[in-house]
Structure 1
């Protein structure tokens, strides 16, 4: 549902959750006037410094053209030439939510007042977000050293040089020094990363509920989640995961024993495998929170020292490595989900029929779910491959490293989609097993979750196509994030 609240933009307090509210729920933004005044001071300082010394991208070309001095007679056109030459993105257009996310992130970064852009660009971004105007931004054209193509497309749209995708604004002039200052950012990559972080964090939370349903269907041992066990090896994520399982299952101080002395790894090692993913999501949030509020433009116009600094803050190694780590952890978590699904179709573990079938001998039941889950797991495995093992040497050898954080963000979005399917297959298996067994669940969050799933998922005992139920289960998973 729409969000009627406002997100304050001051260049230092933007949170990941704020970005999601603007991107997904169309929350409005309010630009802090102190930030605008500071941006104005930085803009004037940039003009003054540029009149006295060479400033990369303002009085010179960019990349290997860094020593080419801009002709004073054509300086007014320099900014537009730079935007036009860099607006070479291709591929599918970015979804509207990612574009809105990009706009609010770039606005907040500019409000940090290190770029030296004219304040009218800040007002243009604020207005676009307020009225719902969106540029058309292509997905391909960055390697983790600045979203140059995407931001050039946005800059040209604001300048009236490209048509708007949704809505419109009156054209805004581009000052000679505005172009590089505006596009020197990884805002689009951060935008996709923030939305991926949000979606994955919710999926990881919902995973506790689904694993708990499988735990009940398999008659798991609560010893694996005991406070004493995890206090003896207190990694934050596994401690949190075990505590969540105790809460969801309503385990008291002296819970009953499980069916087996030792459970399969899918139950027994769940906190140890799921915990690193929780920790990796927290680590990614810390990286994102810094970058959302960073004045990372090259060069940095530093108003307090009245100096200009040329630097490498465009590098996004922190972000790329955090995303790679999170996807690797997620793959382990998804493997355990697929393992629990295999446990659910095994009669020796459930006491039910093979594949939870209910028809004549030879009925397949939910056999196909294992194929679907492992197909999705295979996709996730490919998406989990680290992008940070590659690099690029471009611009006549001057730019000889790239983090590929943009590709890491894309891979993370793909991994999330695949993981949701794996979880949906496990959810269908767990709910079916509990219903066939007539298991009574405690008056705890697990019981409420089972009741919700049972209302939404039909119990069709004979063999039938499961595609619709998989899609329905994927929707229910999002609701479990709030259990």
Structure 2
């Protein structure tokens, strides 16, 4: 199926080899090769337990033996017994190679800004662990076992969100992660912000003294941008599905023309995602006595109604692309150097460069911004008396009461801000490390901005839903489709009917939170199965 399944509402299918049953719990096995977005959602949102592949641990041990052989024989290999970046030509004495790793982590742990959300920190640890489980990074088994322990015990590093260029890896953010393995820095533990040393003492844990290559293996990678990217994708996919639902309410509230969703129109263009959106809308308006036929009230609707499948469908196309790139990156070896061919070949390269994820996050920003753009145009059509036959601004008493006038202002403000955030970060680059690292991806910046855009989309969608609920009631919600009535009933427990002006900020906040928590069964009609094209004309 080309159209992606929603992650929060449908049954999640995983490869059988990735799980084992223990004490009645499903546990996700990491082997460095087949970690999926669905599994990441289980780990990050449901705090699923992780186990490590025994076969992959053999590879981890083998790669470590190669590193120890290099140190013992005194071969010069970048990152093991040399400096870093522009200092790669500086040879490090064998007795100092362990100190080199400790200095690396401490000097690179210079991130700034607000910390990443705890869920991102958890995702980052999981992705770093999965990369190490590929067995090409040269770390000891104690390192991967400690990461597994921290994830399963929900001890999450506090990681500043700013400071990565997205090449040479997410150095600053991942250094703050590595600090925790050393017993330094700060963590979230059981809902509290505490020093790592304090938590380690409470649990009787000894800090890890990093040895040759291990510090570099922990920070050379794209796990910060990819972790943010995975969480972004999960939230964006949920947003996109909700946009289809809410748009179907607006279509009914404005007595939109159902003919624009005829399956043959969308088959004629050929985009599966566009056809899937149209099919979903047909199902969501099934049985409605509010939608109209072509020529019944007007010949054509405005684009914000008529082109819902084309615009929403294009966003789903982008989501498919983003999901593909994230899935590859989640299972990629992105540090440097890599110990390849069973440790026989040690090669320096550039897999830490985040360009693929930088592009993916920039594309995601643009695609999600468009969902907010078209949603805001539908809001305008709901509240503007020149564009419909409803009371001005859906006010209970127009003139004396302003109704939902200023909610459209808020939506317009958010979509305008999204336009600046959607500027691609990936087209920027700035040289670093004395021009040795002279091209960078800015992928982490792109991912952070995408998070803000997605949050704005959810707020705009909350405003559209508030407006469409009010308009539906003015039309008579009992005339809406059964699924619309189901959504109306659930949403009205969050935002009550508007009988007079009130402070709507709280309503927007509550509706936004409700959309985020995903408690409504948004995925019920995400996989559309129709018996031909007749459903679009069924007005029963």
Instruction: Provide the rounded CA distance (Å) in 1 between the counterparts of 2:29 and 2:239.
Output: 28
- Is residue 342 from structure 1 mapped to residue 380 from structure 2 by the alignment? yes
Which of 289, 294, 298 is equivalent to 2:336?
298
Q: Which residue of 1 aligns with 2:156?
A: 134
Which of 29, 54, 58 is equivalent to 1:8?
29
Instruction: Provide the rounded CA distance (Å) in 1 between the counterparts of 2:320 and 2:498.
Output: 40
Which of 415, 420, 439 is equivalent to 1:401?
439
Aligned ranges 1:286-435 → 2 under 5 Å: 286-304=324-342, 306-347=344-385, 349-359=387-397, 361-435=399-473
* 1:416-466, Cα deviation, whole Å (9 max, x unpaired): 111111111111110000112214345542231122223332113222221
**Is the alpha carbon distance of 1:347 and 1:92 closer, same or farther for their aligned partners in structure 2, counting shifts above 3 Å?**
closer
Instruction: Provide the rounded CA distance (Å) in 2 between the counterparts of 1:211 and 1:408.
Output: 28
Q: Which residue of 2 aligns with 1:31?
A: 52
Q: Which residue of 1 aligns with 2:176?
A: 153
**Is the alpha carbon distance of 1:398 and 1:156 closer, same or farther for their aligned partners in structure 2, counting shifts above 3 Å?**
same
**Structure 1 residue 86 displacement after superposition:** 1.2
Aligned ranges 1:248-263 → 2 under 5 Å: 248-250=284-286, 257=293, 259-263=297-301
Instruction: Provide the rounded CA distance (Å) in 1 between the counterparts of 2:423 and 2:401.
Output: 38
Q: Which residue of 2 aligns with 1:216?
A: 252
* 1:195-219, Cα deviation, whole Å (9 max, x unpaired): 1110011000000010000000001
* Aligned-partner SS, 1:5: strand
* Aligned-partner SS, 1:12: coil
- Is residue 101 from structure 1 mapped to residue 101 from structure 2 by the alignment? no
* 1:106-159, Cα deviation, whole Å (9 max, x unpaired): 111100111111111000000111222222222122111111122222222212
Q: Contact 2:334–2:351 (CA<8 Å) still a contact in 1?
A: yes
Query: RMSD in angstroms over aligned alpha carbons?
Result: 2.0
Q: Contact 1:384–1:411 (CA<8 Å) still a contact in 2?
A: yes
Q: Which ranges in structure 1 are unaligned for 5 or more consecutive residues?
A: none
Instruction: Provide the rounded CA distance (Å) in 2 between the counterparts of 1:122 and 1:196.
Output: 26
Instruction: Provide the rounded CA distance (Å) in 2 between the counterparts of 1:407 and 1:316.
Output: 11
* Aligned-partner SS, 1:455: coil
Instruction: Provide the rounded CA distance (Å) in 2 between the counterparts of 1:399 and 1:132.
Output: 35
Instruction: Provide the rounded CA distance (Å) in 2 between the counterparts of 1:42 and 1:463.
Output: 67
Q: Which residue of 2 aligns with 1:228?
A: 264
**Is the alpha carbon distance of 1:265 and 1:320 closer, same or farther for their aligned partners in structure 2, counting shifts above 3 Å?**
same
* Aligned-partner SS, 2:359: helix
Q: Which residue of 2 aligns with 1:61?
A: 83
State TM-score, norm by structure 2. 0.85
Instruction: Provide the rounded CA distance (Å) in 2 between the counterparts of 1:138 and 1:291.
Output: 22
State TM-score, norm by structure 1. 0.95
Instruction: Provide the rounded CA distance (Å) in 1 between the counterparts of 2:343 and 2:139.
Output: 18
* Aligned-partner SS, 1:134: strand
Instruction: Provide the rounded CA distance (Å) in 2 between the counterparts of 1:306 and 1:172.
Output: 27
Q: Which ranges in structure 2 are unaligned for 5 or more consecutive residues?
A: 1-7, 9-23, 190-198, 525-540
**Structure 1 residue 275 displacement after superposition:** 1.2
- Number of positions where the alignment pairs a residue of Structure 1 with one of Structure 2: 480
* 1:21-43, Cα deviation, whole Å (9 max, x unpaired): 22222111111111111100111
* Aligned-partner SS, 2:523: coil
- Is residue 459 from structure 1 mapped to residue 497 from structure 2 by the alignment? yes
* Aligned-partner SS, 1:112: coil
Q: Which residue of 1 aligns with 2:230?
A: 194
**Is the alpha carbon distance of 1:4 and 1:418 closer, same or farther for their aligned partners in structure 2, counting shifts above 3 Å?**
farther
- Is residue 44 from structure 1 mapped to residue 65 from structure 2 by the alignment? yes
- Is residue 74 from structure 1 mapped to residue 96 from structure 2 by the alignment? yes
- Is residue 204 from structure 1 mapped to residue 234 from structure 2 by the alignment? no
